[in-house]
Amino acid sequence: MLLEGDRLPRFLVLCAGLWLHAASSMLAATTLPRAVVEIGGHQLIGWAFSLYQLGSILAGAGTAILVARAGLRAAVLLGAALYGAGCCVSALAPDMPTMLTGRLLQGLGGGWLVALTYVGLNRLFPNVLIPRLVALTSVIWSVSAFCGPLIGGSFAALGLWRFAFWAFALQALAFFIAARKLLPRSRQPTAGPAVFPAGRLAVLAAAVLLVSWAGAEIDALLSPLLCLAGIALLWVFLRIDRTAVRARMLPRRVLDLNDVPGAGLLMVFTASASTMSFLVYGAFLLDVLHAISPLTAGYVIALESVSWGLVAIVFSGAGESLEKRLIRAGIVLVAAGVLGFTLFMPGGVLWLLLACAVCQGAGFGMMWGFVVRRVIAAAPEGERERASSALPTTQQIGFAVGAAVCGIIANAAGFADGVSVDAARRVAFWVFAGFLPLVAFAIVAAWKFTGQPHRL
């Protein structure tokens, strides 16, 4: 069915947009350390990641409105243009503030491209193909986990870090041309809102910035207060959006356990937040406690993404009768990974840590395609665009909150007073144990999500 008509080239175009976003996020990890030697601003490296993530979240939250007003193809072209412009700004950056501006633009463009991938799957392909297509997109994400650091590291090693950004700017241009040629002209756009919801997006931006700031701060009192303030603003955003008459960005019952899409999105949020500890502190802890070099540790962490993609392919052909079991088994595997890291990161052998990484990645890969299909299929007809774009947005918000909470836990466990082996052991336990209640709630959400009737 994928080979019928223009389906394959259209799918490849959507995958190319996903590649740009995923590889760019990993690219920065290996280029920025060399960049700050030339342009300064080493104390702002963390913000280069925070602003990229913020741009992705804001873009994802506004995707449904953008598609309604401009149509799918125009939205994809806009995302590509913003992403390419951001790469150019970063490549030309004379100082870190300019670099941060480029990273924000890359996040906006890349975030749109990721969210539009799910919208495009919903619009351009039959529902029965979605699990297989989502599995293939997971492979693209896995490949980028290896290629992003490799590309950035290769240019950085030659002292040509700017060329890494130019390389992705050229890819964005090629993607723009391909999307303009291969994606169909959108059906007549629906009537969009008279005024873009800038106020709601400002509240969402403030929420993410406060949570990110909380993770960067090392003050034992201020960090939790900032985190709580950010979560409160996130609740305000959701409440305002839910009651909006027009231009809602997310499904009306988002994060509602008694609604199938709401329970699914709540599961995605909690599971995503619960698994950030390994990404944020895994490489550092592997270096300090297990004498593994940062480069090798980076590829150990990438094993999680590879497991996600491979397992997604294996189970993509599973029938509807197995959907419920696979979602539940997947979230249990994710929880097992978090529990395993809690037990083995402080002093376990390496192969057990590798097994935990595989568990987390395989759990997501096993269930993700079916979560996407179930959320979209269960949404009311007028809510499906919002539901499809809300999936990556909810995931990104979960990542942001999880990363910030990781920082708070790590600082409270000992890193605020300096780095030592004893402090690293305490952090290695608590930075994972602190998320066990949240991942347990993700299991509850998964059971609610799969225990309610839905339409296919």
Alpha-carbon Rg for the chain, nearest whole angstrom, is 21
DSSP conformation class of 158: T
- pLDDT surpasses 60 at 258: yes
CB-based contact 386:242 (threshold 8 Å):
no
What pLDDT was estimated at residue 379? 81
359/412: higher pLDDT: 359
CA–CA dist 322, 439 (Å, integer): 23
Tens of pLDDT along 422-437? 888 888 999 999 999 9
Q: Where are the alpha helices (DSSP H) in 244-383?
A: 260-274, 276-290, 294-315, 323-344, 350-378
Q: Between the CA of residue 299 and those of 133, 282, 334, what are the distances in Å?
A: 25, 11, 19
Give the range with max mean pLDDT: 20-29, 63-72, 173-182: 173-182
Tens of pLDDT along 42-65? 556 666 777 887 888 788 777 777
Give the range with max mean pLDDT: 175-184, 395-404, 439-448: 439-448
DSSP conformation class of 383: G
102/283: higher pLDDT: 102
CA–CA dist 204, 58 (Å, integer): 7
What pLDDT was estimated at residue 333? 96
Provide the sign of the torsion angle of the four alpha carbons 156, 159, 160, 162, taken in this order.
positive
Selection from 390, 385, 428 nearest residue 409 by Cα: 428
Q: Which fold has domain 253-451?
A: Growth Hormone; Chain: A; (1.20.1250)
Q: Rounded to the nearest 10 degrees, what angle do helices 350-378 and 96-124 cross at?
A: 60
Under 8 Å CB-to-CB from 200, ≥6 apart: which residues? 237, 240, 241, 244, 249
What pLDDT was estimated at residue 68? 77
What pLDDT was estimated at residue 407? 75
4/306: higher pLDDT: 306
Tens of pLDDT along 123-181? 888 877 777 787 788 778 777 766 766 676 677 767 788 998 999 999 999 999 999 99
Tens of pLDDT along 314-365? 887 777 778 889 999 999 999 999 999 999 999 878 889 999 999 999 999 8
159 conformational bin, left if phi > 0, alpha if psi -120 to 50, beta if neither: left
19/305: higher pLDDT: 19
- pLDDT surpasses 70 at 217: no
What pLDDT was estimated at residue 413? 81
Average pLDDT over residues 222-227: 80
pTM of the model: 0.76
Provide the sign of the torsion angle of the four alpha carbons 102, 26, 394, 377, taken in this order.
positive
Q: How many helices (H) and strands (E) does the chain have?
A: 17, 0
CA–CA dist 69, 23 (Å, integer): 29
CA–CA dist 424, 307 (Å, integer): 27
Average predicted confidence (pLDDT) for the chain: 82
DSSP 35-84: HHHHH--GGGHHHHHHHHHHHHHHHHHTHHHHHHHH-HHHHHHHHHHHHH
Q: Do domains 1-192 and 253-451 have the same CATH topology?
A: yes
Selection from 122, 119, 133, 103 nearest residue 21 by Cα: 103
CA 347 to chain centre: 29
- pLDDT surpasses 90 at 372: no
- pLDDT surpasses 50 at 446: yes
Contacts 24+ apart (CB under 8 A), 103-107: 103/28, 103/48, 103/49, 103/51, 103/52, 103/55, 104/51, 104/52, 104/54, 104/55, 105/55, 106/24, 106/52, 106/55, 106/82, 107/51, 107/52, 107/53, 107/54, 107/55, 107/56, 107/59
What pLDDT was estimated at residue 456? 46
Q: Cβ atoms within 10 A of the Cβ of 40, count?
A: 12
- pLDDT surpasses 70 at 3: no
417/326: higher pLDDT: 326
Average pLDDT over residues 378-406: 78
Maximum distance among all alpha carbons in the chain?
A: 62
- pLDDT surpasses 70 at 189: no
What's the pLDDT band for 15 if we cut at 50, 70, 90? confident
- Domain 1-192: give its CATH superfamily: MFS general substrate transporter like domains (1.20.1250.20)
- pLDDT surpasses 70 at 196: no
What pLDDT was estimated at residue 219? 67
Under 8 Å CB-to-CB from 87, ≥6 apart: which residues? 24, 102, 106, 165, 166, 168, 169, 172
For the chain, give every domain's residue range. Answer: 1-192, 198-243, 253-451
